[in-house]
Structures are given as structure tokens and as C-alpha cells.
Structure 1
């Protein structure tokens, strides 16, 4: 995935340079602008990326957001950037004000390491308090990169992003709640399971016991799920390895074409070249015999040679394809059957 690789490259740059970045401006130039470039927007084109975009709020004039990304003359994303060491939690109120006075549906708050994308799911033209997409670029996952790609210039579609934003936001919030409950189960969480598992009255002592039981049960489920995934992966790897070993251990073909058989083929070829082109005469070795065919066609056998046993034979064919075996002392005896070999080729060509 090209975008993912580009973002990973930026993440490496962030890791290498952040300790040498002392100002907010440096953060913008070293981290934020490259991110905007990765999204396909030309940071040197003032019709696409406008720095210090005016976002006056009421009577308060001169309010400016760090960057506004434009498409078809309208702002589609405003970006507020802070120094990479700053905690973003104390800065979303500023972006909240900017969002309200612009036409955009999306806002990005970042310090070059952490990125938070906002929209107005809860109330139109009023930025939500919580982001629908949040990530640390130094710990980026491929599925997150797929969501970031939706903001790429070539793929940007307001309605598609809005439709997906709700799912992303609430999935993220539910995951956060689940993590909190797994770390320290709340009274309501324990009560939910205790009510279903315990038939008696939920006294303080019972709730205390069930708090430990619920925590233990959930940790066991997670461990079992992880082990199941690991075992499944290991089993697949073992099956793959076994299949590869079986392929390697497959018995080699018992067919082995000998020098004598190849010499015999050359004799037959020399005889037939007076009537047919040599490219039409093909040999095929089998476990039972060494066959010579016309046009590499099983229905046009010229002869079959049996040379690997105690007694040597040549099988010839008449016009009805009846097989006639003739004993030979050596492959030189093939010359004795010149007429039969030429005749059988003539039968096939005249057929």
C-alpha cells in the first residue's frame, strides 16, 4: 500500500528529528506539511493549501488557522498544528471556534506525532468534542492508513467520509470503554454479568467476589482468543511446511531415457527424413517402451522400442495400426525395417 509506506517514511523522519525540533514553526515545516503533501495536496499552490487562513470569530478579528486545504474553491479541511511536545487535549477549543466559522466539514488537530480528525456528527456546523479518527503516526497500523487515504486528493468524498466517520468514532469510544472495564471493572459492568450468573441477592460481599471473577473471566477469554489465533497461525504454517515437504519428497519419475534409446531415435529420424521433415518426428519415453510418434500425436505411432530388458524388440504398425513386434539384436537392426517405417508414415499422410 503506497500511502501506508509513505506515512511510515514520515514516521521514521519524526522519530529521527523530533528531539531537534524546538518550535511550533519547525514542527509545521518538518512534520505537518509533509503529511499534507502525502495526501496529494500541493503545499506550494495557494489554491490548494492556504497557510494562516483567516477564521474571524464574531467581534474577534485576525483569528487564523494554520492551514486550510481547498478543493474546487471551498475549504475541505482546516489544520491546526502545535509543537510536537504539546498535549493536544488543551487545544481543541481553539479549533472548535475556527470550525464554526468556516464551510469545512472536517478539522485536523496535530502536533506532528498525534493526529485527531474531527467533524460535526452530533450537531451541524458544530465540531464534535471527540475526534472520529485519532492515531499516533509512529505507531501507525495499516487499517488506520486506509482511513487516512479517504482524505487523499484523488479519493476525497465528503459524504463517504461522513458516513464512515460515525462508525469510526463510536467504535473507537466503545473500544476505549472496554479497555477501561478490562483494566478496572465498574460496578455496573460487574452487576450486568453477576445478575445473569448468580441467582441470589447481590450483596456488597457478592459484588466484591464477582468483581474478581468477571476480571478473571475476561482475561481468560482474551488469553484463549489470542492462543486460538496463534495456534491457528501455527497450524497453517505447519500445514504449509508439510505440503512443501511432501512435494520435495515425491518420488522421482521412474522413466529414464537412455543413450541407446536416443541413438535409436536418431536412426529412425535418419530413415524418415527422406519423406518428412524431422520436426514432425517426436519421441516420448514411458515406463513400458520408448515411443516415436508423427506430429507428436498418440494416434500416429511410428514405432515403439523395447530396449531395456534382456531381449530387445521393435514394435511396428501396419495401415490398420496393428502392432507387430520384431526381435532385434542391436539398434542397428532398425535399418532392416526401413520400408515398414516409411510405409506407416505414408499411411498417416494419405489418410
Structure 2
């Protein structure tokens, strides 16, 4: 990946200063600001307010946050230290209810804690740091593998549509749904990318359009309600999206508006691909009906991104952050260990057991 974006780590640890450093995605594309988070309240607020966002990046931030949350602990007894860790874990887990990577990363950190139970608390702290670093390093390789599998389904010169942001700034590196675009750019595939602006928080306009343009990719920004016409006009040969959770039956939760894109793609005969690390697959969740959907503040629709309010004062607004795409609308789910096709109950389970 030759893009300068490859050098950007949106989440990293400054252990010497006991600080989590994140790229504040709420300020893009106008400002590139790295925040230095030193308290659990800072980390929670960054996750909740989408300063760090993207399922993998949330997981990485949570892992580092869990380590930093107990790094300064004075406890020497394992049970007391573990109880302190549990409080940090529960607090961070409350930031975002839908993104399974948040819970996956925190559970993995707890598993490492329990595994090291016979060691000194000092050694356990080092183990927690090592585990958080491993989560970040593994995500980079996972994204590269997803990109390679996804690229095998695409052809040079294709028009690709994406929704929300599943790029390098949402992960350790490369991204999920954008990874094949970056790899294709290296190989001269000359993709033409259409990026939905992704209302109401405009992650597509602010983030996807920004990072693809920075990388020299041919990207065109469209309003969300323009996805239909670009498909009808034959400008789109495939849709690539990320996701925050995959249910056992293949239903996927992603940023609000994704299910509408899937319905359009089905109508126009455009393949709809979900790029998902296996850490987002939740086999304990039978279907999309069982995925909790985060409801966010009404102000994000009525006023948050405008100089003046763009809706009548006190009007009611409904603001779910995610929707669920039915598995019947999904052509394939692309993971780091391979590509899952229907029936997803079988193919996803097989990939999880690899």
C-alpha cells in the first residue's frame, strides 16, 4: 500500500506517558488532530462520540483502554486487581452497545488476565499490554487478508459503491471494505468509487471521501438518495460495506442506510459484499432481530452538523445509528479466512472453526 494513509495509525499507545492517542475522526476532513487520552472517562467519551470509530478501531481502543485503566493500580492481590479490571471493562463496554468488537476485545483482555492469574500483578500488567498490542497487529493482517479475498471478486475498471467508512482510519491499517480498493490501486485496477455521504453523521463524506482522495483513488461523493440512480445508470458493478456485527444466520448490522443500499443492489442485480473480520461474527446471536440497535441523540439529525438548525424547533426525530441487512440480500460475507456464501449458518461456522 503506497498511500500516505498507510502511515496513519488512528489508534496507538504511548505507554511512556500512559496515554492512548487517537485520530479525532469528528474533525475530519477540515482538521487532522490527534487526541491524547489519559483517563477512562476520556476513552469512553471518545468511543461514544465517535472520535474513534469503526468496529476494529473501537476494539483496539478498548483493549488499550483496559490496559491503561489498571496500569496505575496499587493492588498486589490478584482478586482485588481482577475486580478493579472488571470495573474498567464494564465501564468501557457501556460506550457502544452494537459494535461486537468492543466486547470481543474486552473479553479477550479478560481472558489474558485470567490466564496469567498465577503471576505477579506487575507481570499481569505487562501481559495485558502485550495482548492489546497483539490485537492491533492482528487486525492489520486481518484487514490485508480481507482485502485480498475481496479483490478476487472484483475486476479492473469496475465502479464500486460503499457506505459509511470502513477504511484505514477505522482499523489498524488498510480497512475492511476499502482494503480491496487500496490493493486494487496498487495493481492498477483503476476502480471508480462512489461514496455515499452516510447521513446523519456523514462518515462517507467526511472520512471515506477524504481518505480515498488522499490515497489518489478516483472517488465521487454522492448523497445517500443517489445510490439508486448510479446503479440504474450502470455505474456500479459491486457494493462493498463493512459491518459492526454479523449474526449466526448472516444478518449484518452496519451504519444506518446500509440495508437500503442492499435492497437497491438486489433490485438492480449488483452484488452486495460485506467485509467483516471474524471478530465481528457473533454465533451466539441467532439473527438480526437479536442485535441491539443504538439510538442516538435527536440533535445529530436536526442541528449537529449545521451552522443553524435545519429542522423546526422541538420537532421529534428518530435516530438509530445502525440498521440490519437481511442475509438474503447479501451476496457474500468476506472474512480474513475466506468468503462465506449462503447458507451462512454453515459457512460462517466453518470459517470460525478454521
Q: If the length of structure 2 is used for normalisation, what is the TM-score?
A: 0.23
Q: RCO (CA 8 Å, sep 6+): is it higher in 1 or 2?
A: 2
Q: Which is helix-richer, 1 or 2?
A: 1
Higher radius of gyration, 1 or 2: 1
Q: If the length of structure 1 is used for normalisation, what is the TM-score?
A: 0.23
